[in-house]
A and B are shown apart, each in its own frame.
Chain A
Amino acid sequence: MRITLDDVEYRYQVNTPFEHLALHDVNISMEPGTYTAIIGHTGSGKSTLLQHLNALLKPTKGRVFIGDRTIEAGRKEKALRPIRQKVGIVFQFPEHQLFDETVEKDICFGPMNFGVSEIDAKKMARKAIAQVGLNEEVLEKSPFDLSGGQMRRVAIAGVLAMEPEVLVLDEPTAGLDPRGRKEIMDMFYDLHKARGISTILVTHSMEDAAKYADDIIIMHKGTVFKKGTPQEIFSEPEQLMELGLDVPDTVRFQLKLQKELGVRFDHPCLNIGDLAIEIDKAMKRGNR
């Protein structure tokens, strides 16, 4: 399912003294089956943008196309549920939203809310719990007896159980230890590959953006500063650093080394293996 934002503007609290322009002139398109990373500072408009992707917010100007639906400024929109089912959002610290007596009931809540029968919802819950790498025995437990990492996975299973076509992830690994982070990111990537789920990742981690995404969108001061492939985005790292954004570890190291050695590699190195090879080449060329 394609999501396109056409000239989108969003103002909070219009016609009040607190009116605040959060997004303006946003033109982007996320193609079906792609993996897009959205990066930017706190306050750059990322979270506001994210809420447009399943019509939690309606633009104050412009249009949002979500599959065959159009969300438009100034027009009352009905029947938003199908959109919310097709575009699943995993919010930051999603485990804070767990509420039910058992894991199974918690996961079933979403699908049943969208009209799925209890029997089918339970089947979906079993499937979803396996997808997030947890044992079926967990279904009978209270979500509040689980560890933090397990709770996170249960909350994610609740979104997956709705079988969304698009998955929006807002900092899904915040607060997890390094292994937990890698496991969760790999899990989303596998789902993306195996089931063709379009994935939109909002993150501060340039490493994750470089590693997983086909396209990167940089938000700055409420609008799109730059978009492109990871190679394109990180080929001008100075530009990002001027905005106060990070670049991947490998790119930052490459910059420091290039400066000290007075050489220039012909492309940004986005993983450690590639960086080591390029450094080796530079060393072999020696001091000429």
Chain B
Amino acid sequence: MVKKLVSLNNIVFKYEGQSRNALDDVSFDIHQGEWLAIVGHNGSGKSTLAKLLNGLQFANSGTITINDQLLTEESVWDVRQKIGMVFQNPDNQFVGTTVQDDVAFGLENAGVSQQVMVERVHGALNKVKMNAFLNQEPHHLSGGQKQRVAIAGVIALQPDIIILDEATSMLDPRGREEVLETVRELKQENEITVISITHDLEEAAKADRMIVMNQGRLYREGSPQDIFELEEELIALGLDIPFSVKLTKELQKNGVRVVDGHLTEEELVKDLCELHSMM
């Protein structure tokens, strides 16, 4: 039985001065230990969701509970200790002059003792494989390295949930893979719940579950299998489908009898090899 870690109930949110609701009656649950990918076009409400989950904004109506605790202006400080956020721009999230100072910043705010702090900072930087950079200045690092330091800052606070708000969108392919691999390892080892807000459909295909947002509403939720079956519907929403799904369709058009539902290239290669051996 999966445990509900976060519940959103009938969330409505409107930015000041806007006529349209940024979020319009949105309800869903987030399960403990899952990787949930939230996808949607620019302006669909994805990032607003992240801001509400972390109490950076509060809903006009509806409720959010996190670990059975209602998120309110009073409980927000408790809740923020459970949720760590990594933002899009690696250059906008540094406060320390060295890598280790930066990771320590959140701990200082949380009033952690010096001894525990040193332990946690080193532990967190070890986990993201940035321990060799302790005294480097953050702005000399590559984008992927910067985001890994940002992640270290988050996990030093030992959160239950990490929210990645398009955290890989400004990185080159290598940096992107570094960051995702780091988060995957953390999730495995520490049973962290990951909420990834992303335009990267290949990344979403590897999630446990997906949520599709459209114009402030929850359009669909389900496994990547279920979601990518929508194919043309997703494209009409301004999204895309993974490469292996596109190629499967194109092959079928050419009369190659591959089966539907390959979300990874490896599965499709395997299917083709089996077909080939039967020729």
Enumerate chain A interface residues (CB-CB to B < 8 A): 41-43, 147-149, 174-180, 204, 244-246, 249-250, 252-253, 256-257, 260-261, 272-273, 275-277, 279-280, 282-284, 286-287
Q: Is the CB of B238 within 8 A of A177?
A: yes
Counting chain B CB atoms within 10 Å of each CB, the highest count among A41, A147, A179, A245 belongs to: A179
Q: Which residues does chain A contribute within 8 Å of B3, judged by CB atoms?
A: none
The 8 A CB mask of B259-279 against A (1 = contact, 0 = none) is 000000110111011011101
Q: Is the CB of A253 within 8 A of B43?
A: no
Q: Which residues does chain B contribute within 8 Å of A42, judged by CB atoms?
A: 142-143, 172, 175
Q: Is the CB of A178 within 8 A of B253?
A: no
**Contact partner, B43, options A148, A204, A273, A282, Cβ 8 Å:** A148
- Besides A179-B41, A249-B243, 14 more A-B contacts (Cβ < 8 Å) are A41-B172, A42-B175, A175-B88, A177-B42, A177-B238, A179-B238, A253-B247, A261-B273, A279-B254, A280-B251, A280-B254, A283-B256, A283-B272, A286-B276
Q: Is the CB of B170 within 8 A of A175?
A: yes
Q: Which residues does chain A contribute within 8 Å of B201, judged by CB atoms?
A: 178
Q: Is the CB of B276 within 8 A of A287?
A: yes
B139 to chain A, nearest CB (A): 13
- Give CA–CA (A252, B247) in the complex, Å: 13
Enumerate chain B interface residues (CB-CB to A < 8 A): 40-43, 88, 142-143, 166, 169-170, 172-175, 199, 201, 235, 238-240, 243-244, 246-247, 250-251, 253-256, 265-266, 268-270, 272-273, 275-277, 279
Q: Which residues does chain A contribute within 8 Å of B174, judged by CB atoms?
A: 41, 244
Q: Which residues does chain B contribute within 8 Å of A253, judged by CB atoms?
A: 243-244, 247, 265, 268-269
A-B contact pairs, 12 of them (CB 8 A): A175-B166, A176-B199, A177-B41, A178-B201, A178-B238, A178-B240, A180-B42, A204-B173, A244-B174, A256-B266, A279-B254, A279-B256
- Give CA–CA (A253, B276) in the complex, Å: 16
- Give CA–CA (A169, B42) in the complex, Å: 21
- Give CA–CA (A282, B142) in the complex, Å: 42
Counting chain B CB atoms within 10 Å of each CB, the highest count among A174, A245, A253, A283 belongs to: A283
Q: Which residues does chain A contribute within 8 Å of B268, judged by CB atoms?
A: 253
B144 to chain A, nearest CB (A): 8
Pick the 3 closest A-B CB pairs, nearest first.
Answer: A286-B279, A179-B238, A178-B240
Q: Is the CB of B142 within 8 A of A276?
A: no
Q: Is the CB of A179 within 8 A of B254?
A: no
**Contact partner, B246, options A180, A260, A272, A277, Cβ 8 Å:** A272
Q: Which residues does chain A contribute within 8 Å of B247, judged by CB atoms?
A: 250, 253, 272, 275-276
Given A147-B43, A261-B273, also A179-B265 (CB < 8 A): no
**Contact partner, A179, options B173, B239, B246, Cβ 8 Å:** B239
Q: Is the CB of B276 within 8 A of A283?
A: yes
Q: Is the CB of A252 within 8 A of B265?
A: yes
- Give CA–CA (A204, B246) in the complex, Å: 21
B119 to chain A, nearest CB (A): 32
Q: Is the CB of B43 within 8 A of A257?
A: no
Given A177-B199, A180-B238, A260-B273, also A277-B279 (CB < 8 A): no
Q: Is the CB of A256 within 8 A of B256?
A: no
Q: Which residues does chain A contribute within 8 Å of B235, judged by CB atoms?
A: 179
Q: Is the CB of A147 within 8 A of B42?
A: yes
- Give CA–CA (A42, B275) in the complex, Å: 41
- Give CA–CA (A253, B244) in the complex, Å: 9
**Contact partner, A261, options B169, B240, B276, Cβ 8 Å:** B276
- Give CA–CA (A73, B270) in the complex, Å: 56
- Give CA–CA (A149, B44) in the complex, Å: 12
Q: Which residues does chain A contribute within 8 Å of B43, judged by CB atoms?
A: 147-149
A208 to chain B, nearest CB (A): 13
Q: Is the CB of A43 within 8 A of B142?
A: yes
- Give CA–CA (A249, B238) in the complex, Å: 20
- Give CA–CA (A275, B249) in the complex, Å: 12
Q: Which residues does chain B contribute within 8 Å of A256, judged by CB atoms?
A: 265-266, 269
